[in-house]
Amino acid sequence: VFDEVCETTGVTLKRFMSEVAMLNPDITELTVLFGAIETACKAISNLVKRSQLPSSETLGYQGEVNVQGEDQKKLDVITNDLLKRALRFTGRLGVLASEEEDVPVDLSGANKGVLIDEGERYVAVFDPLDGSSNVDAGIPTGTIIGIYEHDENCAIDPNCVDEDCSEQEAQCLANTLQPGTNLVAAAYCLYSSSTFLVLTLGSGTYGFTLDENLGEFVLSHPDIKIPEESSIISFNEANTPNWDTPLQETVAKWKAGKGKSGKKFSSRYIGSMVGDVHRTLLYGGVFGYPGDKKNPNGKLRLLYEGAPMSFIVEQAGGLSTTGKERVMEISPEVVHQRVPVIMGSKNDVQEVIDAYAAAQ
Ligand code: AHM
Ligand code: MG
């Protein structure tokens, strides 16, 4: 529940969160996590901005390959550590999973050097620097975060032995593999001409812009509503010939101005999900990374890319689908699972869903 303050542009994120906590005492702990997210976003924004200076220690590659076979850039590793520490020291986190961590990290064990609060605990999933391959060319990048409730049964006893430990670890892993419908909050930070923090706590989508003079995020886009129909497509169109036929046909119609709305679509693709979704939220459109013949599940990861971004888009009145099912309803089986994603303006995404249904 929000009151007038939360709709008033110019209020700071801190003020917004304390207002939310006052009106909804049961999510007070969640607002503590957002304090950490806010600080991490500011710090990452500074790192990205300075990363191309010749004196920067964040230039180039780390020399490691992550579990998904991708070269890790120094910035991927630094931003992952930064976010991890920021979230961990809130004492509100039981477990976290990241694009840059092979397996979920349990934070609830008593020996982790962090005082864990007795109150509510959460699971955080994140991609610390999505689109990091773009950074060297000064192209926008972003951080994506999802927050789930933590199952109290998941805590690895530091004194456990063999089988007990693996059982507890399995429980913690299951705790991380929750469908998007269980998300209690999601956010992204976009590092671009401005730094933006867009969030949902499950009741609308709210956008904040960093005022660098104040060092504060201020509410610039209260209760974002994505236009119901649009004329923008945002896909890597080099993959078109490999897409499913229903999607190929729908996009071909849109380009010819022969879709349901009769509008002739234009194309905008940054190749940075956060930037592409942000534009889609504000201007309308359809952003997608669909499955194709080569990669049936596309490229984007369900847990820390597909699900949190779908939550934000749905809370702004949009839709998000694989073509065949709602992204939010898919239960991940593995942490780094990929998922086809088509999200954005309600009427246009519905047209894709209808085309898939008709082809069944
Ligand atoms: P990353 O997590 O390795 O940075 O990759 C994810 C990015 C997304 O931001 C973007 O939508 C997509 O990869 C672009 O992929 P492509 O270059 O194949 O179009
Ligand atoms: Mg990513």
Compute, in angstroms, the gap from residue 75 CA to the centroid of ligand 2: 13
- pTM here? 0.92
Q: Which of 269, 273, 294, 309 to mutate to test the pocket of ligand 1 (most atoms within 8 A of CB)?
A: 273
Tell me the ipTM for this assembly: 0.97
Nearest CA to ligand 1 atom 18: 236
Identity at 181, one-letter amino acid code: T
CA proximity to 308, closest of 105, 142, 156, 195: 142
Check whether 47 has a pLDDT greater than 90: yes
49: Cβ contacts below 8 Å, ≥ 6 apart: 191
Pocket of ligand 1 (CB under 6 A): 70, 99, 127, 130-133, 236, 271-273, 289, 299
Q: What is the mean pLDDT of residues 219-233?
A: 97
Nearest ligand atom owner, CA of 276? 1
Q: Mean pLDDT throughout 226-231?
A: 96
Average pLDDT over residues 145-169: 73
> Does 335 have pLDDT greater than 50?
yes
Q: What is the mean pLDDT of residues 88-106?
A: 87
Residue to mutate, 65, 130, 286, ligand 1, most ligand atoms under 8 Å from C-beta: 130
Do you know the residue count of the chain? 360
**How many beta carbons lie within 10 A of that of residue 157, not counting itself?**
13
Q: Separation of 238 CA from ligand 1 center, angstroms?
A: 14
Is the confidence at residue 110, as pLDDT, over 50?
no
- For the ranges 3-7, 68-72, 293-297, 326-330, which has the lowest average pLDDT? 68-72
The CA 272 to ligand 1 mean position distance, Å, reads 6
CB within 8 Å of 55: residues ≥ 6 apart: none
Closest residue by Cα to atom 15, ligand 1, is 271
pLDDT reported for residue 59: 64
How far is residue 163 from each of residues 105, 156, 158, 348, measured CA to CA in Å? Answer: 18, 12, 13, 51
Residue 111 confidence (pLDDT)? 42
- Asked whether the predicted pLDDT for residue 273 surpasses 50, the reply is yes
User: Torsion angle, CA of 95/98/103/105, rounded to 10 degrees?
Assistant: -30
By mean pLDDT, which of 49-53, 72-76, 250-254 is the weakest?
72-76
Give CA–CA dist 82/218, Å, rounded: 23
Stretch 241-266: mean pLDDT: 97
Quote the pLDDT of residue 157. Answer: 65
The pLDDT value given to residue 150? 85
The Cα angle at residue 144 between residues 140 and 145, in degrees rounded to 5: 160
Give the Cα separation of 93 and 212 in Å (integer).
29
Question: Residues within 5 Å of ion ligand 2 by Cβ?
Answer: 127, 130
Rounded to an integer, what distance in angstroms lies between the CA atom of residue 248 and that of residue 241? Answer: 8
CA-closest residue to ligand 1 atom 4: 131
Determine the residue of 79, 189, 279, 289 to mutate for testing ligand 1's pocket, defined as the one with the most ligand atoms within 8 A of the Cβ atom: 289
Mean pLDDT of 324-341: 96
Give the pLDDT mean for 30-58.
Answer: 91
